[in-house]
Amino acid sequence: MTAHFESVQNAAMYPDAFDVAAPEITFERNLWPRKLGLFVRNASAAEGAATDAALAIGLDAELDAGLEAKALTAPVRELAVGQFGFVPRWVKSASDAKLRATKMVNARSETVTTSNNFRDAWLAGQRCIVPMTAFFEDDWHSGKALPTRITRVDGKPMGVAGIWERWAKDGTEIISFTLLTVNANSHALLHRYQQSGNEKRMPVILGEGAYGAWLHTKPEKAREFMRAYSAQLLTANPVERK
């Protein structure tokens, strides 16, 4: 499970890498569950999560077609602030949301369309891109967890596929996101990490040319983006303990 990543700290990188306005404030470098971070989303999906969910399951095909045409002619991305750790719409209270968020930092790509936790956001087209410079996995070969920092070989920021949600109740609103993951048992690099005996997972790292399509394609087509990133394009380095 990827529960720790490093946010993109250089504001100037956001317009160039993700085609969004540079953030006005800087968030923490190290993102852990329930910390606030930045993600990129389809601006039209943010206009109303509940309405988009209804459209995605076909309650108003005519309006759905109109929104799709609008997205194709003038897709707009925006940078949003959210909690790392997903809060589903059905959660009943803020205290329950607090407990569940730490367990929902990842969503399995194989079950995201059927999971009670993530299905509504997926069908509503609430996909996002999470900018990061690195993510961390534990190396257990010594018998103890050794944090390892994984980055792109070329040093460029990564855009990881995710989904986001808006939860609101009794005057409290939580915008949250989670990272989508795929199986990494056969991945030349990531199979080395995480505990032995468990299925190995890795976040879905998108190619830069796929960002727009990922945000704006139909839900049934979005599954095609769920692929492991090439091991040759990644590098891993143990984190020095101080």
143 inside domain: no
196 inside domain: no
What is the mean predicted confidence (pLDDT) over 98-125? 95
- For residue 52, the model assigns a pLDDT of 44
Domain count, the chain: 1
Query: How far, in Å, CA of 46 to CA of 27, rounded?
Result: 21
- For residue 241, the model assigns a pLDDT of 65
- For residue 26, the model assigns a pLDDT of 86
Could you give phi then psi for residue 70, rounded to 5 degrees?
-60, -40
DSSP state of 81: E
Could you give phi then psi for residue 44, rounded to 5 degrees?
-70, -30
Residues β-bridged to residue 81: 38
189 inside domain: no
Closest by Cα among 192, 190, 187 to 142? 192
32 inside domain: yes
Closest by Cα among 178, 164, 163, 161 to 227? 161
Q: What is the pTM of this model?
A: 0.87
Q: What is the CATH number of the domain that holds 21?
A: 3.90.1680.10
DSSP conformation letters of 116-147: TTTHHHHHTT-EEEEEESEEEEEE-TTSS-EE
88 inside domain: yes
What is the mean predicted confidence (pLDDT) over 184-211? 94
- For residue 60, the model assigns a pLDDT of 53
Banded pLDDT at 1 (limits 50, 70, 90): confident
Instruction: Supply the range of the domain harboring residue 124.
Output: 5-130+155-179+204-218
39 inside domain: yes
Place of tokens 């589903």: 88
Query: How far, in Å, CA of 229 to CA of 184, rounded?
Result: 10
Question: Sign of the CA dihedral 47, 51, 55, 56?
Answer: positive
Place of tokens 């100037």: 12
186 inside domain: no
Cα dihedral 53, 58, 62, 68 in deg (nearest 10): 50
